[in-house]
Amino acid sequence: MDAKSHWEHVYRTRDPREVSWFQPTPALSLDLIEHLAPSRDSAIIDVGAGASTLVDNLLVAGYRTISALDVSAAALEHSRRRLGSDANLVDWREADVLAADLGLATYDVWHDRAVFHFLTSASDRSRYVARVRRALRQPGHLIIATFADDGPTRCSGLDAMRYSAAALRDVLDTGFHLVDERRESHRTPSGGQQPFMYAAFRFDSSSSASIEP
């Protein structure tokens, strides 16, 4: 089963509030976005948005240039229905991020809590980073949350990678400067715990330093 078929099946057969990655309020993502992009004119894309409530909370916070990308049409439809008329304020993109045309220097913030740790091949990770480099403005910010290095190795029936902030920085290579890293113990709807690592990077290819002073 390819990625699109897999995630369409997940979101057509399960309540989004019952999947293991569901968060009633994505507090840590919101805090990082508001810290790194305080201007409400900032253009933000949530990659692997699924049926996350991040878009709802960004709208409440006053952001108005928001894109939500997911390979699953069913996932995005859940969010559209939940938002009602406010769904018209969001740019919905049904696409595989590895193939999506997101334009050149389109976004101030790229947020991902759902995709990167499922990229188990080096070639897919390279394609992903190339998309980020093309789509982010400079300076812009990349926020990636993955399973921490003591987190699970499988999720939703798929193999998953685990990272420290330093390991993630090495994958991203030059131009990405680590500005913040945080750890979260995510409580799943069934009561389990999943260790997540959040890393935020400033993207500026004119500088070679990989860690902010």
What pLDDT sits at residue 188? Answer: 75
Residue 113 lies inside a defined structural domain of this protein: yes
What pLDDT sits at residue 42? Answer: 98
Residue 30 lies inside a defined structural domain of this protein: yes
Residue 211 lies inside a defined structural domain of this protein: no
Please compute, for residue 130, the number of CA atoms within 13 A of its CA located in the half-sphere on the CB side.
10
Please list the ranges in the chain whose pLDDT falls under 50. 209-213
What CATH number is attached to the domain comprising 177? 3.40.50.150
What pLDDT sits at residue 144? Answer: 98
d(CA 175, CA 139): 10
Q: Residue 188: exposed, middle, or buried by beta-carbon count in 10 A (0-12, 13-18, 19+)?
A: middle
* Phi, psi angles (nearest 5°) of residue 62: 105, 0
Overall number of domains in the chain: 1
Residue 13 lies inside a defined structural domain of this protein: yes
d(CA 30, CA 49): 14
Chain centre to alpha carbon of residue 79:
16
What pLDDT sits at residue 99? Answer: 94
Record the pTM.
Answer: 0.92
* Cβ within 8 Å of residue 16, ≥6 positions away: 22, 50, 51, 75, 78
d(CA 29, CA 196): 12
Residue 212 lies inside a defined structural domain of this protein: no
Domain that holds residue 7: 3-203
**Total residue count of the chain as it appears in this document:** 213
Amino acid at 103: G
Nearest alpha-carbon partner for 104 in 151, 142, 137: 137
Mean pLDDT of the chain: 91
Please, are residues 197 and 183 in contact by the beta-carbon 8 Å criterion?
A: yes
What pLDDT sits at residue 22? Answer: 80
Residue 45 lies inside a defined structural domain of this protein: yes
Per the structure block, which two tokens stand in for 56? 């709802």
d(CA 213, CA 207): 12
Phi-psi region of 191 (alpha: psi -120 to 50; beta: other; left: phi over 0): left
Per the structure block, which two tokens stand in for 65? 């240039």
Residue 209 lies inside a defined structural domain of this protein: no
Residue 186 lies inside a defined structural domain of this protein: yes
What SS3 state is found at 196? strand
What b/e string do you get for 34-73 counting C-beta neighbours within 10 Å, with b at 16 or more?
bebbeeeebbbbbbbbbbbbbbbbbbeeebebbbbbbbbe
